[in-house]
Amino acid sequence: MTDSCAFCGSTRPLTREHVFGQWVSKIGLDLSPVRHIAGPLNGVPRDMGEQPPYRQTVKDFCSSCNNGWMSRLEDTARRVLSPIILGEPGAISTQDQPVIAVWAQKTALTAMLLSSKEQRSRGYGLPKSVYTMFYDCQSRMEPLGGSRFWVGQYEGKLGFAAIHVTPLAVRIPGIAELDRPQCYAVTIVLGKLALHGLVFTTPALEIDVTMSLGIPQIWPPQGPVRWPTGQPCTEAMFQHLANGKMLGSAVESVELQPWTPAIDLPRSVIVDGKVHVPALCGKHSYCYPAVILAEALRGRFYAFATGCACPQAYLIQTEADAAHCKAIGAAEGISDMYEALPGTEVVIHEEAGLFVCKRLPVVPAG
Ligand SMILES: [Zn+2]
Ligand SMILES: [Zn+2]
Ligand SMILES: [Zn+2]
């Protein structure tokens, strides 16, 4: 199989492209080396490492995309967004608003390619068709059909940068949600700039939405936006915004909610082949072999008992693609609950020793 450009499908040699255009590193914003995370798509954040995100690159685009339309988008973004990122007064003209919306969508799609091909083949990431559809739309300088974008000011820690893509589901109460999300909330924070958007990947399910953070819409454009403007997004509000919880359905009897498998999960990181998950106590974390997570992505689930220094014992079960804490308490009680679970015990040999868990029987859906 030959590699082809994620956007136009060309099989010309692929070139490296920065997730954020290199101009971001040159405008004088001091992005401190904090942990950068692209996520929480499908529940497991992908660690972008402890470096400013403008150094991250992906090699998924051909040179004609890279040096053509993508580079023109970066030019406009640099001109329009530089003052805003630095917190200086500025404006986004009605004419520039579609370009900024397309840029935000391109940046989010690029960031989601930071996951490996293997991770993507296991369901992490956006469907390939979204990239092809977007390539078509950008030639008309439009984001994907049914998209909405807003622009606001971020009031949290200086030098913070993040890209989050959260899958959302459109549903009618009482009817089970589909096995795939139908739209995505996109959040980009760079310095003082907070861009938020909603992107539909299932055009038939486009609905009118409400946005509870009081910031101006730039797509579809509603008139010029002067900067600074709108209700500031604080550090505390950021996670709420990024999880798509400030968006709602404007259609009666239809709900717009985060796609259940993707949120309300503890933030986990993968270090040295182990998944580290914050424990319910809020002070410690526990870990389990990454192979258990890989198994969960294939629909095979496990249970194990673990503990923290509190001391507190936990009964953990993997579901869909995350680990859920089923019980918390004294070690004895937790171990009794573990013993009582059906399934076959499995011992995983790790460098640090043995990891004992139970492969749970497959429960028929429904
Ligand atoms: Zn291309
Ligand atoms: Zn970050
Ligand atoms: Zn603890």
What digits encode the pLDDT tens for the residues 210-259? 999 999 999 999 999 998 989 999 988 888 898 888 999 998 878 888 77
Q: Percent of the chain, pLDDT > 90?
A: 34
246 and 283 assigned to the same domain:
no
Distance, CA 1 to ligand 1 centroid (Å)?
17
Q: Give the other-Cβ count within 10 Å of 188's Cβ.
A: 27
Give the domain-ending residue among 213, 228, 262. 262
- Answer with the one of 220, 246, 262 that is the final residue of a domain: 262
**287, 201: one domain:** no
How far away, in angstroms, is 302 Cα from ligand 1 center?
A: 42
Radius of gyration of the chain (CA): 22
Domain that holds residue 220: 14-262
- Give residue 231 CA to ligand 2 midpoint distance, Å: 22
How many CB atoms are closer than 10 A to CB 209? 18
One domain for residues 318 and 169: no
Query: What HEC string does the chain produce?
Result: CCCCCCCCCCCCCEEEEECCCHHHHHCCCCCCCCCCEEECHHHCCEECCCCCHHHCEEEEEEHHHHHCHHHHHHHHHHHHHHHHHCCCCEEECCCCHHHHHHHHHHHHHHHHHHCCHHHHHCCCCCCHHHHHHHHHHHCCCCCCCCCEEEEEEECCCCCCEEEEEEEEEEECCCCCCCCCCCEEEEEEEECCEEEEEEEECCHHHCCCEEECCCCCEEECCCCCEEECCCCCECHHHHHHHHCCCCEEECCCCCEEEECHHHCCCCCCEEECCEEEEECCCCCCEEEEEHHHHHHHHCCCCEEEEEEECCCEEEEEEEECCEEEEEEEECHHHHHHHHHHCCCEEEEEEECCEEEEEEECCCCCCC
The predicted structure's pLDDT at residue 261: 57
Q: 208 and 173: one domain? A: yes
Q: Average of pLDDT values for 266-291?
A: 77
* Tokens encoding 2: 């030959």
Question: Sorting pLDDT into bands at 50, 70 and 90, what band is 48?
Answer: very low
Residues 78 and 206 in one domain: yes
When pLDDT is averaged across residues 104-110 and rounded to a whole number, the result is 89
- 278 or 40: which carries more pLDDT confidence? 278
How many domains in the chain? 2
Report CA(207)–ligand 1 centroid distance (Å): 31
Same domain, 251 and 273: no
Position 290 in a domain? yes
210, 308: one domain:
no
- Say yes or no: 273 and 218 in one domain: no
Which of 103-117, 157-171, 326-340 has the highest mean predicted lDDT (pLDDT)?
326-340
Does residue 222 fall inside a structural domain? yes
State whether 226 and 333 are in the same domain: no
Domain membership flag for residue 293: yes
Band of residue 121 on the pLDDT scale cut at 50, 70, 90: low
Residue 162 lies in a domain: yes
Ligand approaching nearest to the C-alpha of 162 = 2
Confidence of residue 117 (pLDDT cuts 50, 70, 90): low
Tell whether 100 and 216 lie within a shared domain: yes
β-strands 161-171, 255-258 pairing: antiparallel
Rounded distance, CA 130 to CA 122, Å?
Answer: 17
Do 55 and 34 lie in one domain? The reply is yes
Quick: pLDDT tens for 51-66. Answer: 444 556 777 889 999 9
Ligand nearest to the Cα of 62, by number = 1
Residues 258 and 275 placed together within one structural domain of the fold: no
If one compares 37 and 243, the residue with the highest pLDDT of the two is: 243
Q: Is the pLDDT of residue 41 over 50?
A: no
Mean pLDDT of all residues in 320-332: 77
More confident residue, 67 or 366: 67
**Contact call for residues 244 and 166 (beta carbons, < 8 A):** yes
39 assigned to some structural domain = yes
At 14-27, the pLDDT tens digits run 887 777 777 777 77
Q: How far is the CA of 280 from the centre of ligand 3 (A)?
A: 7
Residue 286 CA to ligand 3 center (angstroms) comes to 9
Q: What is the mean pLDDT of the chain?
A: 81
